[in-house]
Amino acid sequence: MSSGSARLRLGIDLDGVVADFNAGWISRYNAEFGATLLPEHVDIWDAPTTLTHFTDMGEFWRWAATSGEGATIFRVLEPYRGAIDALDRLARRHRVVIITTKPSFAIHDTYEWLAEHRVPTREVHMVEDKTLVRCDIYLDDADHNLVRLASRIPDATVCRFVRPWNNPQEGVVDIRSWDEFERVVAER
């Protein structure tokens, strides 16, 4: 496809890309346990096991299932600044496809979150293996997803939203802002 003139399928991850998962769980954790954690403390993927009293991610996820003021943690997250506006602009010319991995307990809250924040999509996939959803361009923050996408879908452009918890990957384009992602899409 050339010069962004064709309608592209944009595979967009939610947590860590559109929704600020770390600020969300940290805010709830601080309120519930009197801690003083900051989102800036997160510099590895499974940070809850190193920053909190949780001994493993299973224990963290059991807490997250009920820590969102009567909903799961996924229901109370805030979008990253500029994320929804960028998706609105992109959706005018392209198909925004949400591809996210969620525990079973978060499915309904995720759909409610998407509706509340008016995420411009008609297509939502909650899958472990994101390569099952074919797109022209992907945007993700998880190293394991980036590696899998780049190796299994070589004709796609795979973009890493650079975060402290991820690393550069071969064959993956680093993105540091929504403006930068919009430029990559426009150049495709």
DSSP string, the chain: --TT-SPPEEEE--BTTTB-HHHHHHHHHHHHH-----GGG--STTTHHHHSS-SSHHHHHHHHTS-BTTB-GGGSPPBPTTHHHHHHHHHTTSEEEEEE---GGGHHHHHHHHHHTT---SEEEE-S-GGGS--SEEEE--HHHHHHHHHH-TTSEEEEE--TT----TT-EEE-SHHHHHHHHHH-
Residue-wise pLDDT tens digits, 39-63: 999 999 999 999 999 999 999 999 9
Check pLDDT > 90 for residue 174.
Answer: yes
Query: Percent of the chain scored above 90 by pLDDT?
Result: 93
CA distance 23 to 37: 9
pLDDT of residue 169: 97
pLDDT category at 6 given cuts 50, 70, 90 is low
| Residue 133 contacts residue 49 (beta carbons within 8 Å) | no
Residue-wise pLDDT tens digits, 97-143: 999 999 999 999 999 999 999 999 999 999 999 999 999 999 999 99
CA distance 47 to 164: 11
170-179 average pLDDT score: 98
CA distance 44 to 23: 14
pTM summary value: 0.94
Check pLDDT > 80 for residue 15.
Answer: yes
